């Protein structure tokens, strides 16, 4: 028996567990270590914030999936690795040994050290923590509907933009239902750059800018947050904003314990992997999703890439166990980006082509629901 440990229940590992359930890998004992029994599907997370999708609708049940794959589950947070003894250190369990390890623990927004743990400064990840805070905010708004509330969002990439639009929709629905003025809530988005969604063609950023203007979301471009003492947010330029809550959706970052354990990482701490998804420094360790950077094919940190790595990862586990050469994986160069605008429309971006329509939203909704169905209706093994 070889011990294959899947660390983190990210998108690629969810797909791997499903595939192991369909076709088991003889001679391998599977273990999943995950902070939670469920994991959020990133494509539907903003829609869940808007109230379009239920919690169950956008979460994958890892416990069910592990049962299907005949994997044992440790619900715990990994906090370190011993690469001499091949063990994973967890918060609440004894060290867990492995022969082969695969890491899919995602990433978190880069929160300046001074803001970590600060009350009402809420990073978009870990998702379970973010959703807890969001639910508590909704509760506060529902309880004190007459109190004006100012919300700030830091980060003008796809995550920040989608969150701003979807948070506004949910809060406005809440106020409308209570027949209260919509002006009770104001939303501000602070972005360090001069253009929203800098990874996309300029039309996309300009279009979102227009949508923000139309919906009354206040945009502050070229603003880098310097100090936060809520309700005061001060930017490097001297600009000051009053905020009751500040959501943080900036550049992705990786935990320090991966590099500290001796794994090859880049300057931002992400695990460096080759074309077969194996660590450059430790060939018995794989990494996928946001936490991995393919040295020959760097891509943005996005769920679309994490999802695509599930199948080749499983294929390479099989090859490794059967003593065959591993197969290289080439992630797609161009990918479809669908950004929901929280009004039953979406902006679609494919390379240099982009547009906005209701049809794109229906398409996105169909693709996302179809993806989730794969985990709800598990096939026969």
Residues of this chain that interact with ligand FAD (CB under 6 A) are: 8-12, 33-36, 39, 42-43, 45-46, 77-78, 104-106, 124-126, 159, 162-163, 249, 289-291, 301-304, 306
Cβ nearer to ligand FAD, comparing 21 with 289: 289
Cβ nearer to ligand FAD, comparing 184 with 211: 211
- Compute the least distance from the CB of residue 338 to ligand FAD, in Å: 7
- Compute the least distance from the CB of residue 366 to ligand FAD, in Å: 14
Cβ nearer to ligand FAD, comparing 184 with 314: 314
- Compute the least distance from the CB of residue 33 to ligand FAD, in Å: 5
- Compute the least distance from the CB of residue 199 to ligand FAD, in Å: 12
Angle at alpha carbon of residue 298, lines to 294 and 303, rounded to 5°? 85
- Compute the least distance from the CB of residue 42 to ligand FAD, in Å: 3
- Compute the least distance from the CB of residue 364 to ligand FAD, in Å: 8
Cβ nearer to ligand FAD, comparing 220 with 364: 364
Nearest to 150 by CA among 234, 221, 232: 232
Q: What is the CA radius of gyration of the chain?
A: 21
- Compute the least distance from the CB of residue 289 to ligand FAD, in Å: 2
Those residues with Cβ within 8 angstroms of residue 46's Cβ, 6 or more apart along the chain or in another chain: 162, 163, 165, 166, 340, 342
Cβ nearer to ligand FAD, comparing 149 with 347: 347
Cβ nearer to ligand FAD, comparing 104 with 223: 104
Cβ nearer to ligand FAD, comparing 10 with 156: 10
Those residues with Cβ within 8 angstroms of residue 325's Cβ, 6 or more apart along the chain or in another chain: 319
């Amino acid at each position: 028996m070889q011990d294959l440990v899947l660390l983190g229940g990210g998108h690629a590992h969810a797909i791997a567990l499903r595939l192991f359930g369909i076709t088991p890998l003889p001679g391998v004992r599977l273990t999943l270590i995950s902070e939670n029994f469920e994991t959020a599907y990133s494509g539907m997370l903003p829609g869940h914030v808007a109230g379009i999708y239920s919690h169950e609708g956008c979460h994958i049940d890892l416990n069910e999936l592990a049962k299907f794959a005949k994997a044992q589950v440790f619900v715990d947070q990994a906090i370190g690795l011993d690469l001499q003894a091949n063990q994973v250190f967890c918060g609440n369990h004894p060290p867990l040994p492995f022969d082969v390890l695969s890491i899919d623990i995602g990433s978190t927004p880069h929160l300046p050290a001074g803001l970590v743990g600060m009350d009402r400064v809420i990073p978009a990840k870990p998702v379970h923590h973010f959703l807890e805070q969001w639910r508590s905010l909704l509760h506060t708004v529902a309880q004190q509907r007459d109190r004006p509330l100012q919300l700030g969002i830091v980060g003008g990439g796809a995550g920040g933009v989608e969150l701003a639009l979807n948070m506004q929709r949910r809060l406005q629905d809440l106020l409308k239902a209570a027949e209260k003025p919509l002006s009770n809530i104001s939303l501000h988005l602070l972005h360090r750059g001069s253009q929203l969604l800098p990874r996309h063609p300029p039309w996309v950023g300009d279009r979102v800018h227009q949508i923000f203007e139309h919906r009354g979301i206040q945009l502050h471009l070229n603003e880098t947050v310097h100090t936060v003492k809520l309700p005061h947010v001060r930017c490097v330029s001297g600009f000051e904003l009053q905020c009751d809550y500040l959501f943080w959706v900036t550049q992705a970052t990786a935990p320090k314990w991966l590099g500290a354990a001796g794994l090859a990482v880049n300057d931002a701490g992400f695990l460096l992997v080759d074309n077969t998804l194996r660590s450059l420094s430790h060939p018995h360790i794989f990494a996928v999703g946001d936490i991995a950077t393919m040295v020959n094919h760097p891509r943005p940190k996005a769920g679309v890439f994490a999802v695509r790595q599930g199948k080749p990862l499983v294929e390479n586990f099989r090859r490794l166990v059967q003593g065959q050469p591993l197969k290289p994986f080439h992630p797609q160069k161009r990918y479809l980006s669908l950004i929901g605008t929280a009004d039953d429309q979406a902006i679609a971006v494919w390379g240099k082509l982009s547009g906005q329509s209701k049809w794109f939203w229906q398409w996105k909704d169909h693709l996302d629901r179809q993806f989730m169905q794969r985990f709800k209706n598990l096939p026969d093994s």
